[in-house]
Structure 1
Amino acid sequence: MSKPTFHPLLTLTVIAAAAITKERRFIGFDGNTAAAGAKALGTNPVTAAAGEAMPVDSHGVILVEAGAAVARGAQVQGDADGRAITLAGGVSNGYALAAAAAAGELIPIVRGI
């Protein structure tokens, strides 16, 4: 697979409420990894220690790690680890612009207002 491309249109700064040790996970409005099925502020391009300022890509074409196989065009929600999975009763956090064959792959998603 080629390296996924991304184009964030809005990057916000939040304070990490706890240590964020994995990149490209859904981050909640509270500065924690977003809860399973919850609305996310965006994804984090870097890790952060608790209390540290952290960028969060909120809108545009952003990258997220898949938590399972995801089809291109599918709406995605977060799993318990903040990874993207196919929407199944949670809140949509965007649309997959590329497929993920398995967990652990980075995929671009599109997020709007």
Structure 2
Amino acid sequence: MQSISLLTLTLAATAAISAGRFVAADGTTASAGGNALGVSRCTAGAGEDFPVDVIGTTQVTAAGAIADGAAIEVGTDGKAITKSSGITVARALQAASSDGDSIEVLLIAN
């Protein structure tokens, strides 16, 4: 697994955060179909600081099958899903075959 983060910021978790999930700027898991600041690099409990990859490539947890090169939006629990009607937050750099797969994505500012 590879990631090339060009910018990693530190956030304070305002709720429990899982590793490899899209997160919002307020320190929570990003809402399905919504904007995301980046992807969490580790798990964190409420009140704990955690690193968030904001620019570059990173590893994110998929919610199901995703084709290599597909546009990505935030799904349930901050997992990556193939874009349908939400905001594009990343582009898949490899395919995912099932829920829980970790894939490399290119983050897209939104």
Judge same fold: TM > 0.5, yes or no: yes
CA separation in 2, counterparts of 1:86 and 1:112?
14
Q: Counterparts of 2:24 and 2:93 in 1: how far apart (Å)?
A: 22
Q: Superposed, which structure 2 residues align to 1:54-65 within 5 Å? A: 54-65=50-61
1:51 aligns with 2:47: yes
- Selected match of 2:28 from 20, 32, 35: 32
Matched, 1:68 2:64: yes
TM superposition score normalised by structure 2: 0.95
**Residue 8 in 1 paired to residue 16 in 2?**
no
Match of 1:82 among 54, 64, 78: 78
Gaps of 5+ in 2: none
Describe the SS at the equivalent of 1:81. Answer: helix
* Structure 1 residue ranges (4+ consecutive) displaced by more than 6 angstroms after TM superposition: none
C-alpha displacement at 1:29, in angstroms?
1.3
Aligned partner (choices 31, 38, 47) of residue 42 of structure 1? 38
Scaled by the length of structure 1, the TM-score of the pair is 0.92
Report percent identity of matched pairs. Answer: 43
Aligned residue for 1:107?
103
- Judge conservation of contact 2:13–2:49 (CA < 8 Å) in 1: yes
Letter in structure 2 aligned against 1:19: A
Structure 1 residue 112: Cα displacement: 4.1
